Amino acid sequence: NAGVTQTPKFRILKIGQSMTLQCTQDMNHNYMYWYRQDPGMGLKLIYYSVGAGITDKGEVPNGYNVSRSTTEDFPLRLELAAPSQTSVYFCASSYPDGGEAFFGQGTRLTVV
Amino acid sequence: EDQVTQSPEALRLQEGESSSLNCSYTVSGLRGLFWYRQDPGKGPEFLFTLYSAGEEKEKERLKATLTKKESFLHITAPKPEDSATYLCAVQAPQGAQKLVFGQGTRLTINP
């Protein structure tokens, strides 16, 4: 059982470049999330989705976009990368009560 | 605004030395409080959910408790494999899809 799978694990971007972080889950969860984690800080919610075709902003959405065309996939798009987006990104999914979330292994992104 | 503060930021114990981690929270109506464990380079892994003051949950050497203002994660006779960062998160009713996380406590158990 794969759970939540994120790709890539590591990436270095130059300022102004764009990229998509991939996330897929095989647990048939309706709810999916993107968080970022900076050193010594808690996880901050970027975007979330309660089902295919439905997305909404979290605490820190600026500079990011998401889409949810299927239950399984929830990609995160970075347009015009900035150094402030250097972070570790986690995708997660959960059942509709939103509590017990299952996390992927993370993507460590560095913008130089 | 919902807030979660964890203390201490880091804790170093000897194997077998019991202690507690604190999670203080401010939320307008608590729907649930969650504890996660995070190993270096990995995603958080779910440990416990607590819903109401007075509730307790146990798993091996860990016990989580909840009051109206804070939660404690008690670690009894810890082993080196308990070394990890422990994260606390709260869920408010109006933000049912959203968890607000604390900054975590980095726990190191020395053999």
- Percentage of chain B exceeding pLDDT 90: 83
* Minimal C-alpha gap between A95 and chain B (Å): 10
Percent of chain A at pLDDT > 70 equals 96
Average pLDDT, chain B: 93
Domain presence at residue B14: yes
Domain count for chain A: 1
Q: The domain spanning residue A34 has which CATH number?
A: 2.60.40.10
Do the domain assignments include residue A107?
no
CA–CA min distance B97, chain A (Å): 5
Contact residues, A window 36-55, toward B, CB-based 8 Å cutoff: 40-45, 48, 50
Which whole-number Å values give the CA distances from B96 to A12, A77, A80, A112, B108, in the listed order?
34, 24, 31, 36, 33
Q: What does B41-67 look like in DSSP terms, one character per residue?
A: TS--EEEEEE-STT-EEEETTEEEEE-
Residue B110 lies in a domain: no
> A9-64, pLDDT tens digit by residue?
999 999 999 999 999 999 999 999 999 999 888 899 999 999 999 999 999 999 99
Residue B106 included in any domain: no
B111 domain-assigned = no
Inter-chain touch A43–B87, beta carbons under 8 Å: yes
Tell me if chain A has a CB within 8 Å of the CB of B78: no
- pLDDT of A1 > 70? The answer is no
In a domain, B31, yes or no: yes
Bridge partners (DSSP) listed for residue B71: B23, B66
CATH number at residue B34: 2.60.40.10
Which of B51, B86, B99 would best serve as a mutation to test chain A binding (most A beta carbons within 10 A)?
B99
- B21 pLDDT more than 80: yes
Structural domain of A66: 4-95
Task: Report percent pLDDT > 90 for chain A.
Answer: 86
